[in-house]
Structures are given as structure tokens and as C-alpha cells.
Amino acid sequence: MKTEEALKTLVKEKYSEIALQDKETNMSSCCGAGGCSTEVYNIMSEDYSTLPGYNADADLGLGCGLPTEFAKIKEGDVVVDLGSGAGNDCFVARKFTGPAGKVIGVDFTPAMIDKARANAEKLGLNNVEFRAGDIENMPIAANVADVVVSNCVLNLVPNKNAVIKDIYRVLKPGGHFSISDVVLVGNLPDALKNAAEMYAGCVSGAIQKEVYLELIEHNGFKNITVQKEKPIVIPDDILKNYLNDTEMASFKASQMGIFSITVYAEKPTSTCVPSAGCC
């Protein structure tokens, strides 16, 4: 099993490559991480093109949901996007916040930060900024954000509890998040679980749906709601890179499920965290 730092290095290297790939390549794979499928064009991502603020140059086809559509962003809000990539969700969020609001994208891949900043400059937006940093310890002060969004990113982070804890920190009391992510129901085959490419592709890094929701509750969030859920089917021509015929048949016959979910939760106006023992 790779260490947390090794996994982060893997993701950073892979997403540096992805920043230079075209959208079609990214959308025909698992979060852009190779193993391109000839069977299914769009495995995880959803169509952003009808949302206000959409910018094609910023859409790398890497998401697994439409969190900004569900995020209840209001004019004047401060929005933070975790793993902001080329800026797609940030530019959609900015359309909702208007010029009175502010959008901050955080990403730890330099190539993605460069791409996002170039896109923001082309759009002439002076209230959208991109900061290089780790989403487990964001370069953002506490109690700043009205809304946090993220799209298919937490599954790439080994320490998901640390990210959720830091989301709680940067949100204002009464603020909320809407996050799209990949989760599991049942256990992945070992070959997929141990595959580095499938980790960078958002699959082997995913955790059980029940555990994911428990982490959110454990860190003090309230009104936790699954806003959308859809199954993700990995095509045979990707699976065969990791499983033999017998393993593939067993995997398909199992109750194992891979899902994209969009989760909403609120930071209470009273900032007591049960895990801190104060409630």
C-alpha cells in the first residue's frame, strides 16, 4: 500500500498530464486517468454546457457531478472550490455570486493553477482567484466561505477526514457545502483497489458511502442530504486492464456498486464539533 505522500505525488503527476489532454480523452476515461474506453464516451462527467457561466476552455471533463448547480450560491457569496482544476466550477459559481461575491479555487497541481489563471484572465474576472495549496490544509483563513464546492476530488485524497475538517474550518457559521464525489457500496476487487491508475482515476481511492457520510456527520455538519446519486459503470475495456475474465465475471455478479453522489451539508451557526467533545 502506498503512503499518503506517495499517493499525493501520483495524483499531482497524473493531473499535470491531464491538464494537457483534451476534454474528449478525459471524458472517455475515469477522471482522465488513462485506460480510455471505446465503449462508453462519458463514464463519470456530466454536461455543464447549459449552466450559466460555463466556459468550454475550463471544462476538462473531469467531474462526476454538477455541485455548483445544487450549491444554493447567492449573489455576494464567497465560494471556495476544492481541486479547482482549470476553473470550470469557479466560473459557474462566479455567475451566481456576481461581481459583489468572490470565488477562490484551490489546487495543488501547478499546471492546473496556470491553466485556470490563464482562463480567468481571458474572461477578465477580477473576483476569481486560484491558490496553490493542499485541500487538507487550505491557504484560506477560518470562517471565510459562505459555500464550499468540489467535484470528484475528495476521492483522490488519502486523508478525507482532514479535508472535511478543513472545510468546516473555512466555512462561516451557517455556511454550507455541496460536493460531488465517488463512493462505493461493497468491496472493490483487490486488483482494482491496488491499481495506481485507478486511484488517480477516482475509483480505488473512493471509500464506502456509509463511511463517507459518517465522516461528514462526525465533523459537526448538520442537515446532511444526498442531493443526487447515480451509478458509475466501468466498461469492460477498462476493467480488462486490471481483472482477468474470471475476476471480471465475479465483479459483475457481486453487489459491488460505484456511485457518483452529490452531498449537501451545513455548518451550524453554533460551532460546536461533537468530535471535540464539547457537545
Residue 276, pLDDT score? 52
Alpha helices (H) along 201-235: 209-218
Residue 27, pLDDT score? 47
Residue 56, pLDDT score? 76
**∠ Cα 236 59 213 (to 5°):** 65
Cα–Cα distance for residue pair 55/51, rounded to 1 Å: 9
- Indicate the CATH number for domain 4-267: 3.40.50.150
Which DSSP string do the residues of 97-144 spell out, in sequence order? H-TTSEEEEEES-HHHHHHHHHHHHHHT-SSEEEEE--TTS-SS-TT-
Alpha helices (H) along 124-244: 160-170, 190-193, 196-200, 209-218, 236-239
Each of the 279 residues of the chain gets a pLDDT tens digit; together they read: 467 776 666 666 666 566 555 545 544 444 444 444 443 334 556 777 778 887 877 877 777 889 999 999 999 999 999 999 999 999 999 999 999 999 999 998 888 999 999 999 999 999 999 999 999 999 999 999 999 999 988 888 889 999 999 999 999 999 999 999 989 888 878 877 776 556 455 576 788 999 999 999 999 999 999 999 988 887 787 788 888 999 888 888 887 888 889 999 999 997 555 555 555
Residue 35, pLDDT score? 45
Q: Any idea where the domains of the chain sit in the sequence?
A: 4-267
Strands 257-266 and 102-107: unpaired
Beta bridge mates, 79: 103, 147
Residue 30, pLDDT score? 45
Residue 156, pLDDT score? 82
Residue in the structure block whose three cell numbers are 499531482: 12
Residue 196, pLDDT score? 55
End-to-end Cα spacing for the chain: 37
Helix (H) / strand (E) element for 174: namely strand 171-185
Residue 278, pLDDT score? 53
